[in-house]
Amino acid sequence: MAIAPGQLPAELLNLLALHSSFLTALSLHYAHNGTSTPADLRDLTASVTLVWRQRKVTYDDIRLIMGVLNYGPDGSNNPYHLSDYGRGKIVLEIRENSPMLGGMTGVNEQALTDMFKEGLDSLWSQWCISQKMATRPVATPRRGRGRPKKADTKQVLLEAFLDDTSMSKFLAQLPLVDIETCASLNAIAPLREKGRKRMREFKESVQQGRTQKKRQVSGKEDDPTVSQTTAAQPAQAKITPFAAVRKTNLLDRILAKQEAAKCGSTAPTAAELQRRAALQRSEEVLGILALLCASRPGMRVSFSTTTVLQQLQGSIRSPISKEEALKCIEVISHEVAPGYVSMVNMGAISSVVVMPAMRPLDVKSRLIALGA
């Protein structure tokens, strides 16, 4: 289908709109983060997609825009380049001392738009020469005016003899800029490779130690097939005997700890945990009971169990349930201070009896002895 005079092809309009959306998204990034913060391509492509609203923008779209910017007569002034930070992170960085930066956003949009159009003109001229076609500029920069939000479809830019596939072929051969490796990533690459090598050597030595342990336990040291296999394995030249012994000793310690854990005591039961928690609260509970007895002098002071439980719940610093408070009283009456505190049950009536004269003097030593 021939292109009518004065009308841009849809493919070229989409490309110009993509570049305009790219500049808008980049301006927003620098407005929020400053020009010193590189733009992560994962975030930048998502932002361009929201502005452009044609399709999902990919890394190759950004590389295409950068390739066109680099190809024009002023391509050496392109202030941006793509840098690989490793682990899948690629960012758009600003070159130092770039003359194209201006304003608070860090993007000279008019100059970059003109540079992009000039790059397209140069690429179009070269492609037409290769195809032996007459040329006219595909994009004439507008001077002295701001970048329009939408491309001007009435600008006379292409010859009418273009067929339906010419522009698609032209766009398909546009250059993609190379992604540069970050200088710091190049600097630490030998260190990372050295670390990976050491990790592989350590894993191999551990696996070899485990294999030897299994053979010793099963009594297969004298097996001729095993000895032949062991002799066939070349010794690691870069591991000193001291390092090998130390790694073997480390494996022995790990295996010994595992065996000790298997043969050790089992985990405490729920009843033992409740008793231990009651012992840890006993000193505070004894203090509260002493305060209750101070208001009721006598050789023998009696309280209902419900009253004591309510007083404990309202006086202890950390929250405690009725079951936990009752467990504390039982532990005190049976283990910590059996003569000082006792529980008396008469049918449905339960009481806590305190003998002030028999209050223990050294409670902490008693609790330590009981394993609190």
pLDDT at residue 126 is higher than 90 = no
Which of 16, 18, 249 has its CA nearest to residue 8?
16
Most distant CA pair in the chain, distance: 121
pLDDT category at 146 given cuts 50, 70, 90 is very low
Sheet holding 341-346, edge to edge: 301-304, 349-354, 341-346
* Amino acid at site 160: A
State pLDDT tens for residues 181-191. 877 666 665 66
Q: What is the dihedral of CA 11, 16, 21, 26, to 10 degrees?
A: 130
Strand-strand pairing, 180-181 and 80-86 = parallel
State pLDDT tens for residues 207-266. 888 888 778 777 655 555 545 554 555 545 555 555 555 656 777 888 888 877 777 656
Handedness of CA 123, 127, 128, 129 (dihedral sign): positive
State pLDDT tens for residues 257-280. 887 777 765 667 888 888 888 888
Percent of the chain at pLDDT > 90 equals 8
Angle between helices 10-33 and 59-71 (to 10 degrees): 100
* Amino acid at site 142: R
pLDDT at residue 357 is higher than 70 = yes
Neighbouring C-beta atoms of residue 68, cutoff 10 Å: 25
